[in-house]
Amino acid sequence: MYILGIESSCDETGVAVVQAQVSGTPVLLGAALYSQIAMHQDFGGVVPELASRDHIQRVLPLTEQALKEAKLSLQDIDLLAFTRGPGLAGALLVGAGVASGMAMGLRIPSVGMHHLEGHLLSPFLSADPPEFPFVALLVSGGHSQLMRVDAVGQYELLGETIDDAAGEAFDKSAKLMGLGYPGGPALAALAELGNPKTFALPRPLLHSGNLDFSFAGLKTAVMVQHRKLGVQPSHAQLADLAASTQAAIVDVLVKKSMAALRQTGLSRLVVAGGVGANTSLRQHMNAACATMSARVHYPELHLCTDNGAMIAMAAALRWQAGLLPMTKPGQRHDYSFNVRPRWPLDAIDACAH
């Protein structure tokens, strides 16, 4: 079974081909990615209309590139997978429309995938894939969630952010400090040069007794500290503020993840989503998991942020689990499609088409 996956939910166009057998971990054969970061940089954030228009231009050349790397042609593909949500409506429609159109032309099935399920299952693309069950910390630009994962498709929400996502906390703090967009990697790089103990920033909901997060207050505290530094803070002061901000976010994410492991009694953790690329988060998570004799799994660094491989992989794992009825022999293919800009992961099967 060859699966072509298309991701277009936000500011990355990703296309990838995965090969799946009835059992065994599916294999990534080819992948191509285009990031729109440079285009959105001038605006300090993603401009949805520009994002959609750019996806339209990129998706077919990227498809050719991914197929070439996989040494396959479009006619070899058995299943088209696209990101159905959550994400920007116009951007999602590009991937959904192209995938459904290609599937119709090829007379093969197409399936709309959940973006967060893609992130969640992305460590299966690594050399050290996790075993079920596990706790997953999903930390991206739009989401911060702790999930209990018992099997492919069996997700229970344990806790989530009540306001900003962890990636948003990185991005908004970075913006306040004049570090540009996307702020996460920029703030992380500056933090390397600073002292994380310089500013005592809040750790919201750390002792709330539940597994929810809140990051909006942290952003305000960063703003207050930044103002106190005056109009032209030195590079060293900014580095200290960046390090202190990162430490506050990492501290909350690590402690809540450990609480989730304790609460569920599980001993495996998966950290996925763009913020999962953060070096300090990985270091602190590794150390905390070691003290609890828990194992932690991450996607490959380049597969933490959005990409097509995670969408193709999620479809492959769903197919192996028998969760894709449209791939069963004799099925009439339905090429109507829709997108779900808002779509909670624990409601994933409530509206499958």
CB of 301 to ligand KG4, least distance (A): 9
Q: Taking a C-beta distance cutoff of 8 angstroms, is the pair 16, 309 a contact?
A: yes
Q: If contact means CB under 5 to 8 A according to the sort of partner, which of Zn ion, ligand KG4, none does residue 275 touch? A: ligand KG4
Q: Pick the piece of the chain touching Zn ion (CB under 5 A) from 129-137, 224-232, 257-265, 302-310.
A: 302-310
Q: Taking a C-beta distance cutoff of 8 angstroms, is the pair 337, 111 a contact?
A: no
What percent helix, strand, coil does the chain show, rounded to 5?
45, 20, 35
Question: For residue 215, how far is the Cα from the chain centroid?
Answer: 18
Told to check if 140 binds Zn ion by CB under 5 A, we report yes
Told to check if 142 binds ligand KG4 by CB under 6 A, we report yes
Q: Taking a C-beta distance cutoff of 8 angstroms, is the pair 106, 77 a contact?
A: yes
Pick one of 3, 4, 6, 10: the residue that binds ligand KG4 (CB under 6 A). Answer: 10
CB of 121 to Zn ion, least distance (A): 13
CB of 185 to ligand KG4, least distance (A): 4
Q: Considering only residues 289-348, where is the footprint of ligand KG4 by CB under 6 A?
A: 305-306
Structure tokens, 215: 């990051």
CB of 182 to ligand KG4, least distance (A): 4
Among residues 240 and 306, whose Cβ is nearest to Zn ion?
Answer: 306
Tokens 């799994």 locate to 297
List strands edge to edge, sheet with 268-272.
154-160, 144-151, 134-139, 268-272, 295-297
Q: Is 63 helix (H, G, I), strand (E, B) or coil?
A: helix
For residue 142, what are the contacts with CB-CB under 8 A and spacing of at least 6? 10, 86, 87, 165, 167, 168
Q: Pick the piece of the chain touching Zn ion (CB under 5 A) from 36-44, 162-170, 243-251, 300-308.
A: 300-308
Rounded to 10°, the helix 279-291/183-191 angle is 70
Told to check if 167 binds ligand KG4 by CB under 6 A, we report yes
Q: If contact means CB under 5 to 8 A according to the sort of partner, which of ligand KG4, Zn ion, none does residue 233 touch? A: none
The residues of the shown chain that bind ligand KG4, judged by CB under 6 A, are 10, 140-142, 167, 170-171, 182-185, 188, 273-275, 277-278, 305-306
